[in-house]
Structure 1
Amino acid sequence: MGRTLSTILLCIALTLAPIGAAHAALLKLITDAETEAMLRDFTAPLLKAAGIQKKNLPIYIVNDRRFNAFVIESGAMFVNYGTILESQTPNALKAVIAHEVGHLAGGHLQRLREQSEVQGQLTAISTVLGIGVLAAAAGRDTNGDIGRMVSAFILGTASVGQNAFLAYRRSEESAADAAALKYLERTKQSPDGMIDVLDTLQRNQSIRAAASAYLRTHPLAEDRLSQVQNKAATSPFRNKRDNPKDVRRMDFVKAKLMGFLERSHSVLNRYPNSDKSLAARYARTIAGYRAGAGNAAIKQMSALVKAAPKNQYFHEMLGQMYFETGNPNKAVISLKRAVSLSPNEPELRLIYAVALADTDKRANIEEAIGQLRRISATSRKSPRPFSILARAYAKLGDKGQADLAAAEAALLNGETKLARGLAKKAQQNLVKGTPAWLRSDDILSLT
């Protein structure tokens, strides 16, 4: 998927704060403006229904094909891309999100920590502070991401004490299910999505039950499904269907994820050439681009842009293709249009800035710096704009500002020693007392 502009597989390693250093896990995350925007919009009403005031709840997409989602103690939510692909409807995906919001609203993460302390198992439990939809019903092995560790711990228990912990955990899952139904009703959505999710979990559990005596005697997903079905029967929105706009939006996201992350034959099986829908064409175009048919993909993506000229993500994808095939000037045109259609989407503005800087035209580089400064002013917790800003300033020969931007990026990455060294270096090329010099002095005081 190319260089720094790649919007789908910009995989980064993230060490999760609540996890002990000895058990720190690295997640491969997918950064994509289209998918992230959909998840944010699906989540926002549910957070409001739960009384959670955190408007900018971090939501990350995990590069994992399995059906799972989880939250961690700091409040961030993680959704496997496989969950999006396997959710048959937006309603089902919203039910998954509602379940996770239920854990956050119920304070289950803190209670999980307290329960583990009571049982004298804090060290073991500190590796599984992510609570997910699958936590009490599925899982495979202990090698890999946090989602695996959560599930594997549940399935791998043997002692009486651990089983007591699982009984406690089971009640938390049921509570989150009940909360999810409540939030779905408050947002006037059908409870059927929750039933579909638990039906999937039940099938997964039946496959894995042979590996666990606990699961053989405690049909967790079956019990949860039965409880949800009983409660859902009284919902006034039982027969309500998804908003067509949500369906269309999710179709496009699935197409993009399939095109970039699945094998070509899987893409064609799901989106055969006989399917002339925009979503199917989107998936096949991306799959062809990934396979190396760059020129043909650009032609097909241009046709999609013509068919849906107000779809900012089609413009974004065309811009990405131009950029990664060595034509940043054409990329700038497409990406500028994407930003104009969605001016509040920082990810689009970020890749627009990358393309501008890559043209090596001074006016474009200066414009890129302006775009990056706008992003960093509203997204200071992300090191990415500062890293690109450092390269842009370096191209202009502004060593002081380049080192200051690099220091900001290092500080946000937790590399305090590097940040301090860069801040000192920046001050050598900045005028004392200017805002830039004072900011470098702030970094020195922080490190």
Structure 2
Amino acid sequence: MGRSHIDFRSLAARACALVLAVAVFMTGIGIRHLEAAGLPLIRDTEIEQLLRDYATPVFRAAGLRPDGVNVYIINAPTINAFVSGGQRVFIHTGLITECETPNEVIGVLAHETGHIAGGHLTRMQRQLDKASTAAIVGMLLGVATMVGAGLSGQGELARGGQGLMLGGQSLAERNLLSYARAQESSADQAAVKYLTATKQSAKGMIDLFEKLSNQSLASSVAIDPYVLSHPMPLDRVRNLEINARKSPYFDTPDDPALLARHRMVQAKLTGFLGSPQRVYQKYPTSDTSPPARYARSIVAFRTGDTRAAMVEIDALLQAQPKNPYFWELKGQALLEGGSPKQAIAPLRKAVELMPRADLTRVMLAQAMLSTEDPGLVDSAQQLLLRAKRTEADSPDLHAQLALSYARKNNIPMADLETAEVALLTGDYDLAKQKAKRSMAAFKRGTPEWIRANDILNVKTEDS
């Protein structure tokens, strides 16, 4: 897809496709390591804000600080979500595109919140510590393969998962799986509690689980329930529904405004991730709804037709002139279409309409620097330094900062920012080379010297 607002930081291979809400217990592993392991993360202001709006009431109901829980988006078509150490929730794009209503996604977020609030990661780690690490890793990989294959109807792959588990079904391992199933049931019940507290329905969770149950019914009947990390689908739906129907908010519908935003985000993901054929099948030119125009405008500039993209985007802006995401998209289409100077005005408008959108600031700075106008370098650099407060782990931000410092002939700072890019993208040799070079130019003890020294002393697998 190239560089775009939906920004892929994908390294190595694609992430494994797992079943809904498989909790991957990776306590203490940093995001940089998760990316290096093959998780293709997506960054997008609009999608992240929608998920944040979905999750914030649930986090508060669970007694968690919303700003203390990070939600990440993984480019994977499967219906799945999971949690890892450090209060992190990972959402697959397939969960967003395949769920018909916000309530379904919110239900999954509530379930994952139940894992975090219940301290399940720490408790599972203790259980893992009791067993052979090698055997458990093999077993968990087998379970993930089997359950994922079961939901997709791939019997051969499911048998392959069983092969991964050969020799791994000891009593200790079965006890661990039983413990994991209990945690999943606990998270389901916690989710109902949080949804009730926020006056939302758990019906979306049930609808989604029923959908998955119907898809997996034929393949799951042959799977031993005692080697699954989750309760069997039909049992899970039955137990969940009994509890959920007790809520006075069970029949509460989705907020129409939230549903409209959900549809727009689905269209955005389809436009960026789908083939042109799929986009036009789902959103034909006869469809003039905002989601359809959104998807078509994205696929147009993705395929090099900036003029067609402008027609669709301008129609969207005419109907909603204060929608920041439309201004942002217009700026992106112009920037990637080779017109950075024309991209500045719409991107400035987007930042004006959503002043906290630091990802958009990075794009605006890139447009300014791409014009090669010396008079715009200072403004671009100030935008990047402001965005650095929230986007310090963005390779794009550091790359643009390196360019801005180079344009001002500040080579030590350009080297330091290049070292940051190399560190974030896993090129540790280059990171240390650039850090060492920049460090020689800084006064000992200054923030820049300390940062360069930190990069120089980063421990890697080879060190």
TM-score range with shorter-chain normalisation?
Answer: 0.7 to 0.9
Amino acid at match of 2:81: A
Segments of structure 1 that go 5 or more residues without pairing to the other structure are 142-147
Amino acid at match of 2:185: S
Match of 1:159 in 2: 169
Q: Summarize deviations over 1:267-293 as a string: whole Å, max 9, x none.
A: 233323332211111112222333332
Deviating more after overlay: 398-407 vs 174-183 = 398-407
Q: Given the superposition, is the C-alpha separation of residues 47 and 135 from structure 1 closer, same or farther in structure 2, using an over 3 Å criterion?
A: farther
In the alignment, which of 5, 8, 31 is matched to residue 7 of structure 1? 5
8 Å CA contact 1:136–1:220 kept in 2: the answer is no
| CA spacing shift, 1:294–1:252, aligned 2, 3 Å | same
Quickly say closer, same or farther: Cα 1:231–1:445, change in 2 above 3 A: same
Of 231, 245, 260, the match for 2:272? 260
Q: Give 2:291's aligned residue.
A: 279
* Cα distance in 1 for residues equivalent to 2:370 and 2:138: 42
Is the CA contact (8 Å cut-off) linking 1:407 and 1:423 kept in structure 2?
yes
- In structure 2, the residue matched to 1:122 is 133
> Bigger CA drift: 374-383 or 275-284?
374-383
Kindly provide the CA deviation profile for residues 126-150 of structure 1, in whole angstroms up to 9, marking residues without a partner as x: 57989xxx97993129xxxxxx99x
Partner of 2:184: 173
The match for 1:199 among 179, 185, 210 is 210
2:149 paired residue number: 140
Deviation (angstroms), 1:172: 1.0
Alpha-carbon shift at residue 68 of structure 1 (Å): 0.6
* Counterpart position of 1:364: 376
Q: 1-side partners of 2:127 and 2:211: how far apart? A: 28
TM-score (norm 1): 0.86
- Distance in 1, Cα, partners of 2:334 & 2:434: 34
Q: 2:110 aligns with which of 92, 98, 101?
A: 98
Contact 2:79 2:95 in 1 (8 A): yes
* Cα distance between partner residues in 2 of 1:154 and 1:381: 39
| CA displacement at 1:439 relative to structure 2 | 4.5
Match for 2:318: what amino acid? K
What is the aligned partner in structure 1 of residue 83 from structure 2?
71
Q: Does 1:50 align with 2:48?
A: no
CA distance in 2 between partners of 1:276 and 1:282 (Å): 10
- CA drift of 1:360 comes to 0.7
CA distance in 1 between partners of 2:205 and 2:312 (Å) = 37
The yes-or-no answer on 1:244 pairing with 2:256 is yes
The Cα shift of 1:264 comes to 2.9
User: What TM-score, normalized by structure 2, do the two folds share?
Assistant: 0.83
- Deviation of 1:380 after TM superposition, in Å, equals 3.1
Q: What CA distance in whole angstroms lies between the structure 1 residues aligned with 2:86 and 2:68?
A: 13
408-417 or 331-340, which deviates more? 408-417
Q: Cα distance, 1:194 vs. partner?
A: 1.4
Shift of 1:306: 2.1
Q: What is the CA distance between 1:425 and its match in structure 2? A: 1.9
Partner Cα distance (1:137, 1:129) in 2: 10
Tell whether the 8 Å contact from 2:351 to 2:360 is kept in structure 1 after alignment: yes
Structure 2 gaps, min length 5: 16-25, 151-156, 459-463
* Whole-Å separation in 2 of the counterparts to 1:136 and 1:413: 28
Name the SS of the counterpart of 2:234 in structure 1: helix
Q: Work out the percentage of aligned pairs sharing the same amino acid.
A: 37
Distance (whole Å) between structure 1 residues aligned to residue 449 and residue 61 of structure 2: 43
Is this contact kept in 2: 1:57–1:75, CA < 8 A?
yes
Q: What number of residue pairs does the alignment pair up?
A: 433
RMSD: 3.5
Distance 1:42 1:129 in 2: 30
TM-aligned CA deviation for residue 227 of structure 1: 0.9
Q: 1:83 to 1:437 in 2, by over 3 A?
A: closer
3-state SS in 1 of match to 2:412: helix
